[in-house]
Structure 1
Amino acid sequence: MDEQRRPGDPGWHGTTILCVRKHGSVAMAGDGQVSLGQTVVKGNARKVRRIGNGAVLAGFAGATADAFTLLERLEAKLERFPGQLERACVELAKDWRTDRYLRRLEAMMAVSDKGRSFILTGNGDVLEPEDGVIGIGSGGNYALAAARALIDRPDMTAEQVARRAMAIAGEICVYTNDRLTLEIIE
């Protein structure tokens, strides 16, 4: 999102969100690091949350206030369309794309319930990965690659894949730390 940064914005970095779906279980992990330029300003941020009465996991990357606004909007959509995560995501994406206030928000979201996982973007995208693995944020591609390499190991659960992949991302990406928030839906 740096390319779209407005003049004078501080240059916040530092999110890795990973969602892994395996054998009927979903694990979503987020690191805790928030950086301002080359300085770590917080190491224990909580970027993964349970919403929708605990049935939906949501992780966010981007500007924190923007992400919280989107989380609140998604929760309202889930209240309006209970048990319909895809419908709630599509409705949020439509609002995000067309609403004058919302379209200025700079964030991405990974959301998942027991059955499906999606990536939501400000471009109006609601994307469902074909392999059940999502990685977003500055370290998202590292975590995604590691999770894809580990996902077929029969000795690893979704939680174990998520933990190991996030550890690998933390070893590579300077904007990712090892202080995880991890939520699971069995």
Structure 2
Amino acid sequence: MFLKLCVSNSHILSSNLSQQIWVLEGVLCVLGIMTSVSLSVCMHQCGEEERTLRQYWYTSWPDQKTPDKAPPLLELVQEVERAREEALPSSGPIIVHCSAGIGRTGCFIATSILCKQLRTEGVVDILRTTCQLRLDRGGMIQTCEQYQFVHHVLSLYEKQLSQTAEE
């Protein structure tokens, strides 16, 4: 199974007609307060190989900006992580992409990495992670607003972890 996350505010989809894709289910995910992410699960066949593709599409995240609220991004990161954990080891990578592949993509990847780091190590270094992402792909997390948003999401996640530990 491939996990693909599309972050955009565009509703344009392209298709390659030489490949066969069957939609098994198409649902609007309502993860807590999030209603701006759609999930489609498809079977993709290329020759003898058949794969399941789960595509999450965050439609209300404007280019070079941040979502209006942090909980939807945090919930999406957690949902994608749950799906990854349930997938077979041979299922392939998670692919994250926005229009330019650096702003919203960088925010999602940084948030995902840092949530896991906070959960396992108890501390995070957002600047170091951002710098490493930018070494891997220039321009990741495009704006100051996006960088601050990652801080905000991690603060929210830390509060969640603290509440869970208290229970």
Question: TM-score if structure 1 supplies the norm length?
Answer: 0.25
Larger radius of gyration: 2
Structure 2 length-normalised TM: 0.27
